[in-house]
């Protein structure tokens, strides 16, 4: 349950406000003819890809539920970035993660974009890196998802950051109910409201109340546990769930982890263990659309 660990450590975080900077991020996009998708690695269902931070090669992780993007403090120090000792950022997810403001961070993805961020929140990402098995220097969070429509193509193993409002003509649109972003799915014939979580490697996490509505006997479940990114143990129930459908995706059954989830997320979370089965996925938070390509149809 690596993804559950990440969603608890990063996606569920609430950060104390950092003193604002008046300068907006400066974004540069290559000409349309020069734009090309970037290869990514599927690490236990999670999307990990190469970026350049302050001119240095690094690994980045997609996690739309991280309320902001994070840079690893150790990487920032090694890259010679300025860390403001006066600006401490509280990352409150019941974890040991603490943050500081890192000034003037240049982030670039080849063939996609280059952005100069006036500041970022720096945290210790070593526990996350340990969970994933890659030295993660950047978590691409909700601020990037507001700026781009983020497209992943599991068949081709590529990622692209597209203009907001891009229409995916080979895909079916699922309406986002809000900016969290929540969507409606059908599980066991019942409508459930769940939050999309690209940092969740599993298929579904449901609250105990949502699972109870399905009326499935306990024999479908077993005790399970995992460790969060900061090493804490978390226990819950792993169950065999009923048929599930979302957009063009329809499965006769799915694995569901039962655990407490912030009520603002609805009945639970839907992760890449389910959404990654689509032929392609584009999350466009600004346009309130989740585009899903039918399974088996590879798009580039």
DSSP string, 10-45: IIT-EEPPPPP-SSPPEEE---GGG---EEEEEETT
Tens digit of pLDDT for each residue in 59-87? 999 999 998 999 999 999 999 999 987 76
Q: Residue 22: what pLDDT?
A: 46
Question: CATH 2.40.70.10: does it fit domain 172-293?
Answer: yes
Which token pair is 165?
Answer: 């409002």
Query: What are the start and end residues of each CATH 2.40.70.10 domain in the chain?
Result: 2-162, 172-293
DSSP H or E segment with residue 149: strand 149-153
Give the separation between CA 192 and CA 289, rounded to whole angstroms. Answer: 18
The sign one gets for the Cα dihedral 215, 225, 201, 122 is: positive
Q: Residue 2: what pLDDT?
A: 46
Cβ 256 vs Cβ 250: under 8 Å: no
Cβ 91 vs Cβ 67: under 8 Å: no
Give the separation between CA 276 and CA 283, rounded to whole angstroms. Answer: 12
Cβ 9 vs Cβ 230: under 8 Å: yes
Q: Residue 51: what pLDDT?
A: 98
Cβ 240 vs Cβ 42: under 8 Å: no
Closest CA to 293 of 183, 151, 184: 151
Residue spans of the chain under pLDDT 50: 1-2, 5, 8, 12-18, 22, 93-96
Model pTM score:
0.88
Cβ density class 191-205: b for 16+ within 10 Å, e for less: ebebbbbbbbbbbbb
Look at the block and give the residue holding tokens 């609805």.
266
CATH of segment(s) 2-162: 2.40.70.10
């Amino acid at each position: 349950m690596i993804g559950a660990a990440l969603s608890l450590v990063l996606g569920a975080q609430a950060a104390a406000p950092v003193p604002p900077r008046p300068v907006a991020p400066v974004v540069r996009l290559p000409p349309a003819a020069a734009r090309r998708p970037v290869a990514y690695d599927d690490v236990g269902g999670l999307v990990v890809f190469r970026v350049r931070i302050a001119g240095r090669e690094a690994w980045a992780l997609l996690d739309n539920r991280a309320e902001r993007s994070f840079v690893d403090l150790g990487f920032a120090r090694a890259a010679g970035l300025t860390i403001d000792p006066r600006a401490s950022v509280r990352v409150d997810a019941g974890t040991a993660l603490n943050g500081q403001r890192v000034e003037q961070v240049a982030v670039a993805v080849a063939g996609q974009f280059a952005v100069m961020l006036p500041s970022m929140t720096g945290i210790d990402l070593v526990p996350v890196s340990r969970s994933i098995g890659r030295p993660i220097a950047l978590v691409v969070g909700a601020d990037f998802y507001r700026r781009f429509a983020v497209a992943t193509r599991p068949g081709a193993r590529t990622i692209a950051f597209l203009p907001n409002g891009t229409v995916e003509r080979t895909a079916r649109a699922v309406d986002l109910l809000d900016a969290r972003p929540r969507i409606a799915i059908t599980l066991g014939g019942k409508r459930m409201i769940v939050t999309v979580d690209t940092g969740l490697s599993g298929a579904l996490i449901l609250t105990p109340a949502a699972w109870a509505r399905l009326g499935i006997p306990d024999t479908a479940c077993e005790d399970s546990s995992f460790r969060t990114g900061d090493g804490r143990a978390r226990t819950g129930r792993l169950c065999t769930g009923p048929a599930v459908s979302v957009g063009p995706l329809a499965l006769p059954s799915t694995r569901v982890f039962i655990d407490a989830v912030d009520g603002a997320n609805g009945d639970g979370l839907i992760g890449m263990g389910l959404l990654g089965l689509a032929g392609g996925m584009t999350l466009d938070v600004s346009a309130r659309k989740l585009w899903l390509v039918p399974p088996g149809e590879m798009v580039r």
